[in-house]
């Protein structure tokens, strides 16, 4: 009788919740169709009637990766490129092998939080907070077998094996394709390189020293290969307005033909026509004006109000990674910086410049690379930084001794 009463009560309740939000994914699974020529945010779904168990399977994580490179570490990724069933599921994993004194250099995952478990050996790990509050704080911990540590999404972090035996760790990441931005590679190994005038000012060293540092770092720019999800599922998904395929948003343009102009618009210095009845005019800058806005939900849009700016951003390590997209902006021009990617603005002129930025968060956070890497509190070990940037400890100690300016108010 009690069970019947409970059933009746629940049936009555069942009609009162007729509204629910669509989670993501929007079906049981969306196995990636890697053969499809259609480019979307993530991958097109394979016909579910031909999906098989192998689409959710991968093997080989019992095999150690090659740690014979300069950094003495190797990342074996298990993401949507390895397991096509991960598409839209918002998770992936990695195996990381570390030789004695091996380092997984300071890096970020622009689209994922990482939870790391030590399987064998020991690891010295840490992450650096953003510039806000008492920012650029370094949180470190020595881990042993069985220990677990979390690296928050988007923050610079590292792992270092200080011991004399090999270490193995498994990481889970909250994205099918979390992306990896290795700081040294992105800042000093971008293609084409970031202007040494920009880097000299950012790292507070002379231009000649910046060139020397750049040359030494370019030698190690290919040392790491690895890669949140929700949206977007890659660095960018520039809208292909010519495509006849209809999706939520727009189909992605082939990333190999994307250019800086896809993130750019001009004309906001021109007044709109206010001669209509209401006496006002709205000039929209949306995905129809800036194709690079597709899937970004804005991120950061910068508008030049006065003067000029050289701007740019660097993509993550994936594909033909660490590509630099730059553009010279003048008054009224608009440029978009995709979420989580390293970017900069530089005034090359002799007059003051003013710009207005819009960001897709009430508190977006800022991580100034030089401050976070060389100015954290307490400082990151010079052993870690010397290995990550392939310079001697004296250079690291000198950089850490500088006063790292912060222009965020």
| pLDDT given for residue 314 in this prediction | 94
Question: How far is it, in rounded angstroms, from Cα 274 to Cα 268?
Answer: 15
| pLDDT given for residue 204 in this prediction | 75
The secondary structure of 20-46 as a DSSP string is ----SSSSS---B-TT-----SS-PBP
For residue 175, how many C-alpha atoms fall within 13 Å in the half-sphere facing its CB?
26
For residue 309, how many C-alpha atoms fall within 13 Å in the half-sphere facing its CB?
21
Asked whether residue 109 is marked as a ligand-binding residue, the answer is yes
Q: What's the alpha-carbon Rg for the chain, to the nearest Å?
A: 24
Question: How far is it, in rounded angstroms, from Cα 261 to Cα 268?
Answer: 16
DSSP 191: B
The secondary structure of 108-173 as a DSSP string is E-TT--EEEEEEESEEEEEEE--STTT-SBEEEEEEETT-EEEE-TT-EEEEE--SSS-EEEEEEE
| pLDDT given for residue 66 in this prediction | 95
Asked whether residue 164 is marked as a ligand-binding residue, the answer is no
Asked whether residue 54 is marked as a ligand-binding residue, the answer is no
| pLDDT given for residue 133 in this prediction | 59
Asked whether residue 107 is marked as a ligand-binding residue, the answer is yes
| pLDDT given for residue 161 in this prediction | 96
| pLDDT given for residue 24 in this prediction | 55
Asked whether residue 17 is marked as a ligand-binding residue, the answer is no
| pLDDT given for residue 17 in this prediction | 37
pLDDT in tens, the chain (409 residues): 455 444 434 334 333 333 333 335 667 888 999 999 888 888 889 999 999 999 999 988 889 999 998 999 999 998 888 899 888 888 888 999 999 999 999 999 988 889 889 999 999 999 999 887 578 889 999 999 998 898 988 999 999 999 999 999 999 888 888 889 999 999 999 999 999 889 888 887 765 555 544 444 444 333 333 333 335 667 888 999 888 887 777 889 998 899 989 988 888 788 888 787 657 676 777 788 888 888 777 766 888 888 999 999 999 987 678 999 999 999 988 888 888 899 999 999 898 898 888 777 766 788 989 889 999 999 999 999 999 998 899 989 988 888 666 676 5
Phi/psi at 351 (nearest 5 deg)?
-125, 165
> And the tokens for 370?
């030089």
DSSP 336: E
């Amino acid at each position: 009788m009690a069970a019947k009463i409970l059933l009746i009560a629940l049936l009555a309740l069942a009609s009162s919740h007729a509204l629910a939000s669509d989670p993501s994914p929007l079906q049981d699974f969306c196995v990636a169709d890697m053969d499809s020529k259609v480019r979307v945010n993530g991958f097109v779904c394979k016909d579910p009637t031909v999906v098989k168990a192998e689409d959710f399977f991968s093997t080989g994580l019992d095999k150690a990766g090659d740690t014979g490179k300069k950094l003495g570490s190797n990342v074996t990724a298990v993401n949507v490129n390895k397991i096509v069933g991960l598409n839209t599921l918002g998770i992936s994993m990695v195996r990381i092998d570390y030789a004695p004194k091996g380092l997984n250099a300071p890096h970020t995952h622009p689209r994922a939080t990482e939870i790391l478990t030590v399987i064998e050996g020991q690891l010295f790990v840490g992450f650096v907070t953003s510039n806000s509050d008492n920012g650029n704080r370094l949180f470190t911990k020595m881990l042993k077998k069985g220990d677990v540590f979390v690296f928050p999404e988007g923050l610079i972090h590292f792992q270092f094996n200080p011991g004399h035996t090999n270490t193995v760790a498994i990481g889970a990441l909250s994205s099918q394709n979390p992306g990896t931005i290795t700081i040294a590679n992105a800042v000093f190994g971008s293609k084409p390189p970031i202007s040494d005038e920009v880097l000299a000012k950012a790292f507070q060293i002379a231009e000649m020293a910046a060139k020397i540092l750049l040359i030494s770092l370019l030698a190690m720019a290919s040392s790491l290969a690895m890669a949140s999800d929700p949206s977007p599922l890659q660095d960018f998904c520039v809208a292909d307005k010519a495509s006849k395929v209809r999706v939520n948003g727009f189909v992605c343009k082939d990333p190999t033909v994307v250019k800086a102009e896809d993130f750019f618009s001009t004309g906001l210095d021109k007044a709109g026509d206010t001669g209509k009845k209401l006496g006002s005019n709205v000039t929209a800058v949306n995905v129809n004006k800036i194709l690079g806005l597709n899937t970004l939900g804005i991120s950061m849009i910068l508008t030049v109000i006065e003067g000029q700016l050289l701007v740019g951003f660097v993509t993550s390590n994936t594909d033909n990674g660490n590509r630099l997209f730059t553009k010279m902006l003048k008054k009224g021009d608009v440029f978009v910086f995709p979420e989580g990617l390293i970017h900069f603005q530089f005034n090359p002129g002799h007059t003051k410049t003013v710009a207005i930025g819009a960001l897709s968060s009430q508190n977006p956070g800022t991580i100034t690379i030089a401050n976070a890497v060389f100015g954290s509190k307490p400082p990151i070990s010079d052993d870690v930084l010397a290995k990550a940037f392939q310079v001697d400890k004296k250079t690291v100690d000198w950089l850490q001794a500088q006063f790292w300016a912060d222009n965020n108010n």
